[in-house]
């Protein structure tokens, strides 16, 4: 057992938790202390949007390590989480890379289950371009203000279908020692491939700079890919939407708009806590949640457009602003 690695990991988690809530206590405008965990009611100064990124672990992808995406040499998990929070605060996109890449956020209050739409996630999906993200929620049942309890997936239109794979894993391996090469992967079905480089993204490596291990594995629910080349000659790739229940997805149902979003602006999908299910697909009753995780849900590439990678601009309590 590598105790040095474990200690470094614990320290990194502690640093991220400290940066999310310096004192570990939520206070209202009067300075009065509220509950330290469990259900945390809104205070006068509560904000709708997430106020903390606990973890930002993308898969390799064309937007990772790229200065146009705002990266500035982040070389530790804590710096990567701080980078992601800065982007979300400005409603600028954070890319989750290929399959399994994820971000974990927290809020300064518990988000209540009202029975309807409870929170929203902004992506930049538009007609013909959906890169669906699986959404997970967690309640702080041990009252320590950290996302270390049980994750529950939110049910979507593809839940339970034979083409949807649960507990699917992809290992991204051979961390490139040289520049300008692809990132290789092997999945839990025994298939292998690469996150291919694309002409429009020429940074040295698509493998996250702050992940120093030679390989890492990401697991979650995989949706069946629907992308296809409409032109037949590789020039016009279409990424169709899924009906409902996913981030960065041009749904006619949970985006609550008729706009085709031709300008690829940040636009929200809406989610219900009441759609939470356990790992056997059974409905879970949650009165509130404290943490949200979004994870790229497809494992595919669209030619010159590159890999499908869920983009997140904002995650917020929609009942505070809509």
Q: Are strands 165-173 and 216-222 parallel, antiparallel or unpaired?
A: antiparallel
Over residues 122-174, the pLDDT tens digits come to 999 999 999 999 999 999 999 999 999 999 999 999 999 999 999 999 999 98
Distance of CA 207 to CAs 60, 81, 273, Å?
Answer: 5, 16, 33
Per-residue confidence (pLDDT) for residue 178, from 0 to 100: 85
The SS3 assignment for 135 reads strand
d(CA 20, CA 56): 14
Contact 143, 93 (CB under 8 A): no
Contact 205, 182 (CB under 8 A): no
pLDDT at 190 over 60: yes
DSSP 166-203: EEEEEEEES--SSSS-PEEEEETTS-EEEE---TT---
65: left (phi over 0), alpha (psi -120 to 50) or beta: left
Residue with the larger pLDDT of the pair 25 and 95 = 95
Q: Locate all alpha helices (DSSP H) within 46-135, ordered by sequence.
A: 77-89
Tokens of 115: 């029975």
Please state whether the predicted TM-score (pTM) of the whole model is above 0.85: yes
Over residues 15-71, the pLDDT tens digits come to 444 346 433 333 333 333 344 458 999 999 999 999 999 999 999 999 999 999 999
């Amino acid at each position: 057992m590598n105790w040095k690695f474990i200690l470094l990991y614990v320290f990194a988690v502690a640093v991220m938790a400290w940066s999310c809530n310096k004192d570990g206590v939520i206070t209202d405008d009067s300075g009065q202390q509220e509950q330290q965990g469990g259900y945390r009611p809104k205070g006068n100064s509560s904000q709708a949007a997430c106020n903390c990124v606990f973890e930002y672990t993308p898969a390799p992808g064309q937007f990772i390590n790229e200065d146009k995406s705002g990266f500035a040499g982040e070389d530790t998990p804590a710096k990567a989480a701080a980078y992601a929070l800065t982007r979300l605060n400005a409603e600028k996109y954070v890319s989750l890379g290929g399959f399994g890449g994820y971000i974990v956020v927290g809020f300064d209050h518990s988000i209540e289950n009202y029975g309807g739409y409870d929170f929203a996630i902004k992506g930049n999906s538009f007609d013909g371009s959906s890169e669906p993200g699986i959404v997970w929620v967690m309640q702080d049942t041990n009252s320590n203000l950290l996302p270390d309890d049980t994750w529950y997936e939110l049910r979507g239109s593809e839940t339970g279908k034979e083409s949807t794979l649960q507990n699917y894993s992809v290992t991204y391996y051979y961390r490139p020692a040289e520049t300008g090469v692809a990132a290789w992967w092997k999945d839990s079905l025994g298939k292998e491939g690469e996150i291919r480089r694309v002409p429009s993204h020429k940074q040295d490596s698509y493998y996250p700079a702050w992940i120093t291990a030679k390989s890492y594995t990401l697991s979650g629910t995989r949706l069946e890919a629907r992308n296809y080349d409409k032109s037949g000659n590789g020039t016009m790739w279409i990424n169709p939407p899924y009906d409902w229940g996913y981030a960065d997805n041009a749904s006619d149902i949970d985006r609550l708009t008729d706009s085709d979003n031709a300008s690829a602006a940040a636009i929200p999908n809406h989610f219900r806590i009441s759609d939470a299910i356990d790992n056997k697909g059974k409905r879970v009753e949650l009165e509130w949640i404290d943490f949200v995780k979004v994870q790229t849900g497809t494992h595919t590439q669209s030619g010159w457009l590159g890999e499908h990678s869920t983009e997140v601009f904002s995650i917020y309590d929609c009942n505070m602003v809509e």
